[in-house]
């Protein structure tokens, strides 16, 4: 009888504990339901999914959206199909809402823990989410086609020349030399580098090829390049500081030129070393060789050709940009190397 | 006590249990079911407190079809400029729609888009059996369910010409 009594006591205790747990859970649920937190969590999930759907719907161009709702009470997890809001450690608190992606735009999956700020952005074909999105609104959307790598091609580097001035500016020559240096570092054979200007004697010991910036007369050596990159400074009597890439309209290599121009511009815009300088815009401009008054190197009609117009010699920010010689050379070279990857 | 059965020990040396276990099992099952139902009811209630107006969500998604060059919007190949509201007839097919609305989830909104024009044969193929000037495409999650329908006037681009047209938008959820 004693043992039986003990068993009943134990069962009663279990019964009381089980009832207490269930009551506690029900009470907990009821309390949370009666508070405004859960509906707010559901609202945030709906709202964020709607913002992402809107970004997918935007017709090209770059957008940054400052999200103004306070989501700091939750962890916000976004993957390619849904947004999930939850509180750390409590699994049953999750609320998720789905959104509908596209085959062309990629979403950057992200987990933001108790975010005080959220920014959404659509840059090109990428949707970015972060506390503070680090992206340049001027970034261009490059064509998707993958051309052949250019690092094995013959490359003509033209430091350019301003109109009515036969010689290029010193700063452009320095940028062109920086580009040549970076290209050879990236594996381009110096035998494949040509210039519209005279080159210094190749230094066997140091392995350096460079344009002679002290004697900027035209090169008398013939060149037969596959790719031509021309550089020149912008000159406008305003405060603009744009980057323009001129390509030849109707050229057999227009598509390839556009892609190269796009990659080089994006590489400049994405260079953090140019941080403090405000670049006001970027564009690719197709030009008709016969109609334009611009001076282009000879024989570029059906080559991959990009003329980069950088900065503005008349504006403060433009001048600052033109002083960033190694940074510009590095960016242009990275854009060049990116082609074909 | 005399009518209680002994499950584990005839000599009462183990746990002595009678009808109590049956009571426990039934109670636990009932409580679990109540708890699950209660949780489900709460989740449903919370969801219902935050419903996006149907029109808003539909407008955003319809804008995707009409405005995005990755969907149906005409894009100038020379300049890359997209023309919102102008439908490129070459893109008006299920593959293009799937590319810009890639879901097979039937819990999400599904669309059937029909295009009609008074002065253009749609589909335009000369050898097409379908001579009616109306043609429709479906998102991958479209199923045979009830739907609501609206319409919108659009411009149709086809072979460097522009035509007047109307897009019928059927939405299903």
Interface test with chain A among B70, B75, B111, by most A beta carbons within 10 Å: B70
- Cβ atoms of B78 and B99 within 8 Å: the answer is no
Question: Chain A neighbours among B 42-81 (CB < 8 Å)?
Answer: 42, 45-47, 49-52, 56-57, 60-61, 63-64, 67-71, 73, 75, 78, 80-81
Q: Is A29 part of any domain?
A: no
The Cα of B132 is separated from the nearest Cα of chain A by a number of Å equal to 30
Q: Are A175 and A51 contained in the same domain?
A: no
Give the helix/strand (H/E) hosting A122: strand A118-123
- Which residues does chain B have within 8 Å of residue A29's beta carbon, measured at their own beta carbons? 38-39, 42
Give the Å distances, CA to CA, from A328 to A126, A249, A281.
25, 26, 16
Q: Are A224 and A284 contained in the same domain?
A: yes
Give residue B1's pLDDT band: very low, low, confident or very high (50, 70, 90): very low
Q: Which of A30, A59, A98 sits opposite B82 (nearest CB)?
A: A59
Give residue B131's pLDDT band: very low, low, confident or very high (50, 70, 90): very low
- Cβ atoms of A67 and A119 within 8 Å: the answer is yes
Give residue A296's pLDDT band: very low, low, confident or very high (50, 70, 90): confident
More confident residue, A160 or A273: A273
The Cα of A140 is separated from the nearest Cα of chain B by a number of Å equal to 11
Q: Is A144 part of any domain?
A: no
In this structure, are strands A82-86 and A95-98 parallel, antiparallel, or unpaired?
antiparallel
With CA atoms as reference, the chain B residue closest to A30 would be: B42
Give the Å distances, CA to CA, from A200 to A15, A154, A209, A226, A244.
93, 18, 7, 22, 29
State whether A100 and B108 contact (CB < 8 Å): yes
Q: Are A283 and A192 contained in the same domain?
A: yes
Q: What percent of chain A is helix, strand and coil (3-state, nearest 5)?
A: 35, 20, 45
Q: What is the pTM of this model?
A: 0.69
- Which residues does chain A have within 8 Å of residue B99's beta carbon, measured at their own beta carbons? 102-104
pLDDT tens, A204-254? Answer: 666 667 887 777 667 767 677 899 999 988 888 888 899 999 999 888 888
Q: Are A167 and A310 contained in the same domain?
A: yes
**Cβ neighbours for B147, distance < 8 A, ≥ 6 positions apart:** B110, B112, B170, B171, B172
Collapsed DSSP state (helix, strand, coil) of residue A77: strand
State whether A60 and B105 contact (CB < 8 Å): no
Distance (Å, whole) CA B10 – CA A94:
50
pLDDT tens, A87-132? Answer: 876 556 788 899 999 888 889 899 999 999 999 999 888 899 999 8
Residue B134 touches chain A, beta carbons under 8 Å: no
Give the Å distances, CA to CA, from B10 to A2, A170, B23.
16, 106, 22
Write out the residue range of the structural domain in which residue A66 sits: 38-130
pLDDT tens, B33-46? Answer: 887 887 777 767 76
With CA atoms as reference, the chain B residue closest to A142 would be: B80
- pLDDT value at residue B80: 74
Q: Are A119 and A180 contained in the same domain?
A: no
Q: Are A307 and A198 contained in the same domain?
A: yes
Q: Which of A29, A50, A60 sits opposite B82 (nearest CB)?
A: A60
Q: Are A58 and A187 contained in the same domain?
A: no
The average pLDDT across B74-85 equals 83
State whether A100 and B103 contact (CB < 8 Å): yes
**Token pair 């510009």 in the structure block, residue:** A328
Paired residues of A242 in beta bridges = A281
B123: preceding bond cis by omega (within 30 degrees): yes
Q: Are A168 and A119 contained in the same domain?
A: no
Q: Is A257 part of any domain?
A: yes
| CATH number of residue A255's parent domain | 3.40.630.40
Q: Is A287 part of any domain?
A: yes
Tell me what percent of the residues of chain A surpass a pLDDT of 70. 88
The Cα of A214 is separated from the nearest Cα of chain B by a number of Å equal to 40
- pLDDT value at residue A76: 94
The Cα of A43 is separated from the nearest Cα of chain B by a number of Å equal to 5
* Rounded CA Rg of chain A: 30
Per the structure, the count of domains in chain A is 2
State whether B31 and A53 contact (CB < 8 Å): no
Q: Is A289 part of any domain?
A: yes
Task: List the single range of A138-147, B66-75, B149-158 with lowest mean pLDDT.
Answer: A138-147
With CA atoms as reference, the chain B residue closest to A44 would be: B50
Residue A7 touches chain B, beta carbons under 8 Å: yes
Q: Which of B38, B60, B68 sits opposite A59 (nearest CB)?
A: B68
Q: Are A71 and A165 contained in the same domain?
A: no
The Cα of B68 is separated from the nearest Cα of chain A by a number of Å equal to 4
More confident residue, A251 or A300: A251
pLDDT tens, A39-60? Answer: 888 889 999 999 999 999 887 7
**What's the order of all strands across the beta sheet hosting B73-75?**
B73-75, B82-88, B148-158, B161-172, B110-116, B134-138
Centre a 10 Å sphere on the Cβ of residue A298 and count the other Cβ atoms it contains: 9
Q: Are A123 and A163 contained in the same domain?
A: no
Give residue A334's pLDDT band: very low, low, confident or very high (50, 70, 90): very high
Q: Reply yes or no on whether the pLDDT at B54 is more than 90.
A: no
Q: Is A233 part of any domain?
A: yes
Q: Reply yes or no on whether the pLDDT at B169 is more than 90.
A: yes
Give the helix/strand (H/E) hosting B24: helix B20-49
- Which residues does chain A have within 8 Å of residue B75's beta carbon, measured at their own beta carbons? 60
Residue A100 touches chain B, beta carbons under 8 Å: yes
Q: What is the DSSP string of A16-75?
A: HHHHHHHHHHHHHHHHHHHSSHHHHHHHHHHHHHHHHHHHHHS-SS-EEEEE-S--TTSE
In this structure, are strands B161-172 and A106-107 parallel, antiparallel, or unpaired?
unpaired
The count of CB pairs under 8 A between chains A and B is 109
Q: Indicate if the alpha-carbon torsion angle A257, A261, A264, A266 is positive or negative.
A: negative
Q: Are A168 and A104 contained in the same domain?
A: no
In this structure, are strands A242-248 and A281-287 parallel, antiparallel, or unpaired?
parallel
The Cα of B131 is separated from the nearest Cα of chain A by a number of Å equal to 32
Give residue B132's pLDDT band: very low, low, confident or very high (50, 70, 90): very low
Paired residues of A203 in beta bridges = A208
Q: Are A101 and A210 contained in the same domain?
A: no
Distance (Å, whole) CA A328 – CA A175:
7
């Amino acid at each position: 009888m004693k043992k039986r009594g003990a068993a009943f006591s134990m069962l009663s205790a279990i019964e009381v504990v089980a009832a207490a747990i269930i009551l506690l859970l029900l009470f907990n649920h009821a309390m949370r339901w009666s508070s405004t937190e859960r509906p707010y969590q559901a609202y945030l999930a709906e709202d964020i999914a709607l913002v992402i759907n809107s970004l997918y719907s935007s017709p090209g161009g770059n957008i940054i959206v400052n999200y103004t709702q306070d989501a700091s009470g939750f962890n916000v997890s976004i993957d390619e199909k849904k947004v999930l809001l939850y509180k750390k450690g409590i699994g049953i608190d999750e609320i998720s809402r789905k959104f509908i992606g596209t085959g062309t735009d990629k979403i950057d999956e992200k987990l933001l823990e108790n975010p005080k700020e959220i920014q959404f952005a659509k840059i090109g074909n990428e949707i970015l989410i972060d506390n503070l999105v680090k992206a340049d609104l001027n970034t261009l959307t490059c064509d998707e086609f993958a051309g052949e790598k250019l690092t094995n091609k013959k490359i003509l580097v033209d430091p350019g020349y301003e109109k009515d001035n036969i010689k290029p500016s010193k700063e452009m020559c320095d940028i062109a030399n920086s580009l040549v240096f970076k290209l050879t570092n990236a594996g381009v054979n110096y035998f494949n580098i040509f210039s519209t200007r005279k080159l210094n004697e190749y230094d066997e010991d140091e392995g350096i090829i460079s344009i002679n910036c002290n004697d900027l007369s035209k090169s008398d050596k013939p060149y037969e390049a596959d790719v031509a990159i021309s550089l020149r400074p912008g000159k406008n009597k305003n405060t603009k500081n744009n980057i323009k890439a001129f390509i030849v309209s109707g050229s057999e290599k227009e598509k390839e030129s556009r892609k190269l121009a796009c990659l080089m511009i994006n590489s400049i815009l994405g260079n953090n070393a140019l941080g403090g300088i405000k670049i006001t815009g970027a564009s690719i401009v197709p030009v008709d060789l016969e109609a334009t008054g611009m001076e282009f190197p000879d024989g570029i009609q059906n080559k991959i050709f990009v003329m980069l117009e950088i900065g503005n010699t008349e504006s403060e920010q433009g001048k600052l940009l033109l002083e960033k010689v190694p940074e510009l050379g590095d960016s242009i070279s990275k854009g060049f190397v990116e082609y074909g990857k | 006590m005399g009518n209680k059965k002994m499950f584990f020990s005839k000599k009462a040396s183990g746990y002595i249990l009678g009808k109590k276990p049956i009571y426990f099992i039934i109670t636990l099952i009932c409580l679990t079911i109540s708890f699950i139902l209660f949780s489900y009811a709460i989740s449903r209630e919370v969801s219902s407190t935050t419903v996006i107006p149907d029109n808003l969500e539909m407008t955003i998604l319809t804008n995707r079809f009409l405005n995005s060059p990755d969907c149906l919007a005409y894009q100038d190949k020379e300049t890359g400029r997209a023309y919102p509201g102008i439908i490129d007839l070459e893109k008006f097919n299920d593959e293009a729609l799937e590319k810009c609305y890639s879901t097979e989830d039937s819990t999400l909104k599904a669309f059937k888009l029909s295009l009609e024009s008074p002065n253009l044969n749609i589909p335009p193929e000369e050898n097409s059996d379908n001579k009616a000037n109306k043609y429709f495409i479906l998102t991958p999650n479209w199923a045979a369910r009830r739907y609501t329908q609206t319409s919108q006037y659009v411009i149709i681009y086809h072979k460097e010409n522009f035509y007047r047209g109307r897009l019928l938008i059927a939405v299903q959820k």
